[in-house]
């Protein structure tokens, strides 16, 4: 699965003040179904927050879709030790 993510780096008073932020995220299937809408959402976001970021960029990130599905539907396991 490919994720289209608009990342932003806020204006900083000193280096390292803020970590990069994921601002808008769409999966490849949504962008295929609605071309141009991702770009429109990014533009709208940036217009609303234009003075907050020193840099922005869309970065394509590939993740294991099967692993995400497994993590979403599996029952959580809690491990522990009996102390008494």
For residue range 26-38, what is the model confidence (pLDDT) as tens digits?
999 999 999 899 9
**Between 75 and 9, the higher pLDDT residue:** 9
Q: Is residue 78 part of a domain?
A: no
**Whole-number pLDDT of residue 42:** 97
Helix (H, G, I), strand (E, B) or coil at 1: coil
In whole angstroms, what separates CA 71 from the centre of its chain? 17
34-53 confidence digits (pLDDT tens): 989 999 999 999 999 989 99
**What does pLDDT average to over the chain?**
93
Q: Is residue 8 part of a domain?
A: yes
Q: Is residue 47 part of a domain?
A: yes
Q: Is residue 84 part of a domain?
A: no
Overall domain count for the chain = 1
Domain that holds residue 32: 2-73
Q: Is residue 35 part of a domain?
A: yes
Q: Is residue 45 part of a domain?
A: yes
Tokens standing for residue 68: 């995400």
Q: Is residue 82 part of a domain?
A: no
Specify burial of residue 5 (Cβ count, 10 A radius: 0-12, 13-18, 19+).
middle
**Whole-number pLDDT of residue 24:** 98
- Dihedral of CA 28/33/35/36: which sign? negative
Query: What pTM was computed for the model?
Result: 0.81
């Amino acid at each position: 699965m490919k994720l289209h993510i608009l990342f932003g780096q806020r204006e900083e008073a000193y280096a390292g003040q803020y970590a990069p932020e994921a601002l808008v995220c769409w999966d490849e299937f949504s962008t295929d179904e609605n071309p141009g809408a991702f770009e429109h959402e990014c533009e709208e976001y940036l217009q609303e927050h234009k003075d907050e970021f020193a840099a922005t960029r869309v970065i394509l990130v590939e993740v294991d879709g099967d692993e995400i599905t497994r993590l979403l539907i599996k029952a959580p396991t809690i491990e522990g030790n009996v102390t008494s």
